Amino acid sequence: MRRNLILTALAAILTVGGFSSQAASTPAATTTQTAGKIEDGKLEVNGVRYHYLLAKGQGTPIVLLHGWASTSYMWRHVMPQLVARGHTVLAPDIRGLGDTAKPATGYEKAIVAEDIHALVAKLGLGPEVYVVGHDLGGMVAYAYAAQHRSEVARLAILDVPLPGIEPWEQITRSPRTWHFRFFAVQDVPEMLIAGREREFLKWFHNSESVNASAFSNEVEEVYAREYAVPGALRAGFEYYRAFPLDAKTNQQFAQQKLTMPVLGVGGDQSFGPIIGEHLKQVADHVEVVQIANSGHWVAEEQPAAVVSALTRFIPAPGK
Protein backbone atom coordinates (compact mmCIF):
# COMPACT_ATOMS: atom_id res chain seq x y z
CA MET A 1 0.00 0.00 0.00
CA ARG A 2 2.75 2.45 0.99
CA ARG A 3 4.77 1.68 -2.16
CA ASN A 4 1.67 2.07 -4.34
CA LEU A 5 0.92 5.46 -2.78
CA ILE A 6 4.40 6.74 -3.60
CA LEU A 7 4.26 5.42 -7.14
CA THR A 8 0.85 7.01 -7.63
CA ALA A 9 2.17 10.34 -6.38
CA LEU A 10 5.22 10.09 -8.61
CA ALA A 11 3.11 9.21 -11.62
CA ALA A 12 1.10 12.38 -11.06
CA ILE A 13 4.05 14.67 -10.38
CA LEU A 14 6.87 13.25 -12.48
CA THR A 15 5.14 13.70 -15.84
CA VAL A 16 7.08 16.18 -17.96
CA GLY A 17 6.84 16.46 -21.72
CA GLY A 18 5.34 13.00 -22.06
CA PHE A 19 7.79 11.31 -19.69
CA SER A 20 6.16 9.38 -16.87
CA SER A 21 7.02 7.32 -13.84
CA GLN A 22 6.26 3.64 -14.25
CA ALA A 23 6.57 0.78 -11.77
CA ALA A 24 8.96 -1.99 -12.74
CA SER A 25 8.21 -5.54 -11.66
CA THR A 26 11.86 -6.54 -12.12
CA PRO A 27 15.10 -4.63 -11.50
CA ALA A 28 15.91 -2.04 -14.15
CA ALA A 29 19.21 -3.79 -14.86
CA THR A 30 17.29 -6.69 -16.41
CA THR A 31 14.32 -4.79 -17.80
CA THR A 32 14.00 -3.26 -21.25
CA GLN A 33 13.40 0.43 -20.59
CA THR A 34 11.90 3.16 -22.69
CA ALA A 35 14.21 6.18 -22.81
CA GLY A 36 12.89 9.05 -20.75
CA LYS A 37 10.63 7.04 -18.46
CA ILE A 38 11.32 7.08 -14.75
CA GLU A 39 11.32 3.45 -13.68
CA ASP A 40 11.08 1.95 -10.22
CA GLY A 41 13.35 -0.95 -9.23
CA LYS A 42 15.21 -2.83 -6.50
CA LEU A 43 18.63 -4.48 -6.39
CA GLU A 44 20.77 -5.93 -3.63
CA VAL A 45 24.21 -4.39 -3.17
CA ASN A 46 26.63 -5.03 -0.29
CA GLY A 47 23.96 -7.12 1.41
CA VAL A 48 21.35 -4.32 1.36
CA ARG A 49 18.32 -4.33 -0.91
CA TYR A 50 18.17 -0.87 -2.48
CA HIS A 51 15.14 0.85 -3.97
CA TYR A 52 15.81 3.35 -6.75
CA LEU A 53 14.26 5.48 -9.47
CA LEU A 54 16.00 5.37 -12.84
CA ALA A 55 15.53 7.06 -16.19
CA LYS A 56 17.87 6.07 -19.00
CA GLY A 57 18.92 8.83 -21.36
CA GLN A 58 22.30 9.72 -22.77
CA GLY A 59 25.73 10.73 -21.60
CA THR A 60 27.26 10.56 -18.16
CA PRO A 61 24.65 9.53 -15.56
CA ILE A 62 23.55 11.87 -12.78
CA VAL A 63 23.16 10.32 -9.31
CA LEU A 64 20.79 12.17 -6.96
CA LEU A 65 21.14 11.45 -3.22
CA HIS A 66 18.55 12.60 -0.68
CA GLY A 67 19.00 13.25 3.04
CA TRP A 68 17.08 12.91 6.31
CA ALA A 69 13.37 13.77 6.54
CA SER A 70 13.33 12.95 2.82
CA THR A 71 13.52 10.02 0.42
CA SER A 72 14.09 9.86 -3.34
CA TYR A 73 10.66 11.50 -3.52
CA MET A 74 12.35 14.83 -2.72
CA TRP A 75 13.63 14.96 -6.32
CA ARG A 76 10.09 14.89 -7.76
CA HIS A 77 10.47 18.39 -9.27
CA VAL A 78 14.15 18.15 -10.24
CA MET A 79 14.54 14.66 -11.70
CA PRO A 80 11.96 15.05 -14.49
CA GLN A 81 13.63 18.24 -15.69
CA LEU A 82 17.01 16.51 -15.93
CA VAL A 83 15.36 13.57 -17.70
CA ALA A 84 13.66 15.94 -20.14
CA ARG A 85 17.10 17.34 -20.97
CA GLY A 86 18.15 13.86 -22.04
CA HIS A 87 20.24 12.76 -19.06
CA THR A 88 20.35 9.32 -17.49
CA VAL A 89 19.32 9.93 -13.88
CA LEU A 90 19.47 7.58 -10.87
CA ALA A 91 17.79 8.51 -7.56
CA PRO A 92 18.07 5.79 -4.90
CA ASP A 93 16.63 5.69 -1.41
CA ILE A 94 19.82 5.65 0.65
CA ARG A 95 20.56 2.84 3.12
CA GLY A 96 17.85 2.49 5.76
CA LEU A 97 15.44 5.04 4.31
CA GLY A 98 12.47 4.98 1.95
CA ASP A 99 11.91 1.56 0.41
CA THR A 100 15.55 0.53 0.89
CA ALA A 101 16.31 -2.13 3.53
CA LYS A 102 17.16 -1.06 7.06
CA PRO A 103 20.20 -2.94 8.40
CA ALA A 104 21.38 -2.40 11.97
CA THR A 105 24.77 -0.97 10.99
CA GLY A 106 26.69 0.65 8.16
CA TYR A 107 25.57 4.30 8.35
CA GLU A 108 29.02 5.85 8.09
CA LYS A 109 28.91 8.00 4.96
CA ALA A 110 31.91 6.25 3.39
CA ILE A 111 30.09 2.91 3.69
CA VAL A 112 26.87 4.28 2.20
CA ALA A 113 28.90 5.82 -0.62
CA GLU A 114 30.26 2.37 -1.41
CA ASP A 115 26.66 1.09 -1.57
CA ILE A 116 25.84 3.74 -4.15
CA HIS A 117 29.01 3.01 -6.10
CA ALA A 118 28.10 -0.69 -6.19
CA LEU A 119 24.53 0.16 -7.27
CA VAL A 120 25.83 2.31 -10.13
CA ALA A 121 28.07 -0.56 -11.24
CA LYS A 122 25.36 -3.21 -10.94
CA LEU A 123 23.00 -1.10 -13.05
CA GLY A 124 25.70 -0.74 -15.69
CA LEU A 125 25.72 3.04 -15.43
CA GLY A 126 29.34 3.83 -14.61
CA PRO A 127 32.06 4.11 -14.08
CA GLU A 128 31.98 7.90 -14.56
CA VAL A 129 29.06 9.77 -13.01
CA TYR A 130 27.94 13.19 -11.82
CA VAL A 131 26.99 13.04 -8.14
CA VAL A 132 24.50 15.42 -6.52
CA GLY A 133 23.62 15.17 -2.82
CA HIS A 134 21.41 17.11 -0.42
CA ASP A 135 21.73 17.06 3.38
CA LEU A 136 23.02 13.63 4.50
CA GLY A 137 23.10 12.75 0.80
CA GLY A 138 25.60 15.57 0.31
CA MET A 139 27.84 13.98 2.93
CA VAL A 140 27.54 10.66 1.11
CA ALA A 141 28.24 12.40 -2.20
CA TYR A 142 31.50 13.83 -0.84
CA ALA A 143 32.55 10.40 0.45
CA TYR A 144 31.77 8.91 -2.98
CA ALA A 145 33.91 11.51 -4.75
CA ALA A 146 36.76 11.20 -2.23
CA GLN A 147 36.88 7.41 -2.62
CA HIS A 148 36.38 7.31 -6.39
CA ARG A 149 38.05 10.48 -7.62
CA SER A 150 38.64 9.35 -11.18
CA GLU A 151 35.00 8.23 -11.56
CA VAL A 152 33.23 11.43 -10.47
CA ALA A 153 33.20 13.96 -13.31
CA ARG A 154 31.46 16.66 -11.25
CA LEU A 155 30.14 16.90 -7.70
CA ALA A 156 27.31 19.07 -6.36
CA ILE A 157 26.59 19.38 -2.64
CA LEU A 158 23.31 20.99 -1.60
CA ASP A 159 22.91 22.84 1.69
CA VAL A 160 24.93 20.76 4.10
CA PRO A 161 28.24 21.04 5.98
CA LEU A 162 30.69 18.15 5.96
CA PRO A 163 31.54 16.45 9.27
CA GLY A 164 35.04 17.25 10.46
CA ILE A 165 35.57 20.15 8.05
CA GLU A 166 35.66 23.63 9.60
CA PRO A 167 33.55 25.25 10.84
CA TRP A 168 31.95 21.89 11.69
CA GLU A 169 32.52 22.18 15.44
CA GLN A 170 31.03 25.67 15.53
CA ILE A 171 28.06 24.54 13.45
CA THR A 172 27.33 21.54 15.64
CA ARG A 173 27.33 23.68 18.80
CA SER A 174 24.88 26.22 17.41
CA PRO A 175 21.11 26.29 18.13
CA ARG A 176 20.59 25.89 14.37
CA THR A 177 21.70 22.25 14.57
CA TRP A 178 20.02 21.22 17.83
CA HIS A 179 18.71 18.11 16.06
CA PHE A 180 22.25 16.81 15.42
CA ARG A 181 22.65 16.34 19.17
CA PHE A 182 19.11 15.11 19.80
CA PHE A 183 19.14 12.51 17.02
CA ALA A 184 22.54 11.24 18.19
CA VAL A 185 21.17 10.16 21.58
CA GLN A 186 20.64 6.41 21.55
CA ASP A 187 16.98 5.27 21.56
CA VAL A 188 15.43 8.49 22.91
CA PRO A 189 14.38 10.20 19.64
CA GLU A 190 12.85 6.95 18.36
CA MET A 191 10.86 6.60 21.58
CA LEU A 192 9.56 10.18 21.45
CA ILE A 193 8.77 10.42 17.72
CA ALA A 194 7.41 6.92 16.96
CA GLY A 195 3.68 7.18 16.29
CA ARG A 196 4.02 10.94 15.76
CA GLU A 197 6.04 10.83 12.52
CA ARG A 198 3.69 13.06 10.57
CA GLU A 199 3.46 15.70 13.27
CA PHE A 200 7.21 15.79 13.81
CA LEU A 201 8.17 15.83 10.13
CA LYS A 202 5.62 18.53 9.35
CA TRP A 203 7.04 20.69 12.13
CA PHE A 204 10.63 19.91 11.11
CA HIS A 205 10.10 20.69 7.42
CA ASN A 206 8.43 23.97 8.35
CA SER A 207 11.13 24.96 10.85
CA GLU A 208 13.89 24.45 8.27
CA SER A 209 12.11 26.15 5.36
CA VAL A 210 11.26 29.59 4.03
CA ASN A 211 8.80 28.38 1.40
CA ALA A 212 6.86 26.02 3.64
CA SER A 213 4.08 25.76 1.04
CA ALA A 214 6.35 23.26 -0.74
CA PHE A 215 5.27 20.74 1.91
CA SER A 216 1.60 20.14 1.18
CA ASN A 217 -0.51 17.69 3.14
CA GLU A 218 0.02 15.16 0.35
CA VAL A 219 3.80 15.54 0.55
CA GLU A 220 3.79 15.22 4.33
CA GLU A 221 1.65 12.10 4.08
CA VAL A 222 4.17 10.44 1.76
CA TYR A 223 7.09 11.23 4.07
CA ALA A 224 5.17 10.24 7.20
CA ARG A 225 4.37 6.82 5.74
CA GLU A 226 8.03 6.31 4.80
CA TYR A 227 9.34 7.18 8.25
CA ALA A 228 6.67 5.19 10.07
CA VAL A 229 7.98 1.94 8.56
CA PRO A 230 9.60 -0.21 11.28
CA GLY A 231 13.29 0.60 11.52
CA ALA A 232 13.17 3.82 9.50
CA LEU A 233 13.53 6.23 12.43
CA ARG A 234 16.39 4.23 13.91
CA ALA A 235 18.16 4.03 10.54
CA GLY A 236 17.84 7.76 10.00
CA PHE A 237 19.22 8.60 13.41
CA GLU A 238 22.13 6.18 12.94
CA TYR A 239 23.39 8.57 10.25
CA TYR A 240 23.73 11.25 12.94
CA ARG A 241 25.27 8.83 15.43
CA ALA A 242 27.97 8.12 12.84
CA PHE A 243 29.08 11.78 12.63
CA PRO A 244 32.16 11.36 14.89
CA LEU A 245 33.48 8.56 12.65
CA ASP A 246 32.55 10.55 9.53
CA ALA A 247 34.52 13.53 10.84
CA LYS A 248 37.70 11.49 11.23
CA THR A 249 37.25 9.94 7.79
CA ASN A 250 36.62 13.31 6.12
CA GLN A 251 39.71 14.82 7.71
CA GLN A 252 41.71 12.01 6.11
CA PHE A 253 39.97 12.52 2.77
CA ALA A 254 40.62 16.27 2.90
CA GLN A 255 44.37 15.77 3.06
CA GLN A 256 44.09 15.38 -0.72
CA LYS A 257 41.71 17.92 -2.22
CA LEU A 258 39.22 16.96 -4.89
CA THR A 259 40.27 18.09 -8.36
CA MET A 260 36.97 17.71 -10.23
CA PRO A 261 34.63 20.73 -10.45
CA VAL A 262 32.49 21.06 -7.32
CA LEU A 263 29.27 23.05 -6.96
CA GLY A 264 27.99 24.23 -3.60
CA VAL A 265 24.30 25.12 -3.51
CA GLY A 266 22.65 26.58 -0.44
CA GLY A 267 19.53 28.40 0.64
CA ASP A 268 20.13 32.08 1.36
CA GLN A 269 18.54 31.56 4.78
CA SER A 270 20.33 28.30 5.48
CA PHE A 271 23.89 27.18 4.64
CA GLY A 272 24.15 29.22 1.43
CA PRO A 273 26.29 32.00 2.94
CA ILE A 274 29.03 29.62 4.13
CA ILE A 275 28.96 26.65 1.77
CA GLY A 276 31.50 28.05 -0.71
CA GLU A 277 34.31 28.71 1.77
CA HIS A 278 33.49 25.45 3.51
CA LEU A 279 33.88 23.35 0.35
CA LYS A 280 37.08 25.14 -0.69
CA GLN A 281 38.75 23.28 2.17
CA VAL A 282 38.17 19.95 0.40
CA ALA A 283 38.19 20.89 -3.30
CA ASP A 284 40.35 22.95 -5.66
CA HIS A 285 37.61 24.17 -8.01
CA VAL A 286 34.43 25.32 -6.26
CA GLU A 287 31.48 27.22 -7.71
CA VAL A 288 28.70 28.56 -5.50
CA VAL A 289 25.02 29.21 -6.11
CA GLN A 290 22.94 30.77 -3.36
CA ILE A 291 19.23 30.08 -3.75
CA ALA A 292 17.09 33.12 -2.95
CA ASN A 293 14.05 32.83 -0.69
CA SER A 294 14.97 29.34 0.45
CA GLY A 295 15.72 27.50 3.63
CA HIS A 296 17.30 24.08 3.83
CA TRP A 297 15.02 22.19 1.42
CA VAL A 298 16.28 23.93 -1.73
CA ALA A 299 15.15 21.26 -4.21
CA GLU A 300 11.59 21.37 -2.87
CA GLU A 301 11.31 25.05 -1.91
CA GLN A 302 12.86 26.47 -5.09
CA PRO A 303 13.14 23.60 -7.60
CA ALA A 304 13.40 25.84 -10.69
CA ALA A 305 16.44 27.60 -9.24
CA VAL A 306 18.07 24.28 -8.33
CA VAL A 307 17.42 22.87 -11.81
CA SER A 308 18.92 26.03 -13.31
CA ALA A 309 22.03 25.71 -11.12
CA LEU A 310 22.51 22.04 -11.95
CA THR A 311 21.95 22.40 -15.70
CA ARG A 312 24.47 25.25 -15.86
CA PHE A 313 27.00 23.16 -13.96
CA ILE A 314 26.45 19.74 -15.57
CA PRO A 315 27.12 19.61 -19.32
CA ALA A 316 24.20 18.63 -21.56
CA PRO A 317 24.29 15.00 -22.73
CA GLY A 318 26.77 14.53 -25.55
CA LYS A 319 28.87 17.58 -24.64
- The pLDDT of residue 12 is above 50: no
Distance CA 240, CA 204 (A): 16
Query: Could you report the per-residue pLDDT of 126-151, keeping only the tens digit for each?
Result: 899 999 999 999 999 999 999 999 99
Residues catalogued as catalytic: 135, 240, 296
How is the beta sheet containing 286-291 ordered, strand by strand? 21-23, 38-45, 48-55, 87-92, 58-65, 129-134, 152-158, 262-267, 286-291
Distance CA 146, CA 282 (A): 9
Amino acid identity of residue 310, one-letter, is: L
Residue 20 has pLDDT above 90, yes or no: no
Least confident of 16-25, 135-144, 267-276: 16-25
Model pLDDT for residues 96-115, shown as the tens digit of each residue: 999 999 999 999 999 999 99
Q: How confident is the model at residue 36 (pLDDT cuts 50, 70, 90)?
A: low
Q: Beta-strand (E) ranges in the chain?
A: 21-23, 38-45, 48-55, 58-65, 87-92, 129-134, 152-158, 262-267, 286-291
pLDDT confidence tier of residue 35, bands split at 50, 70 and 90: very low
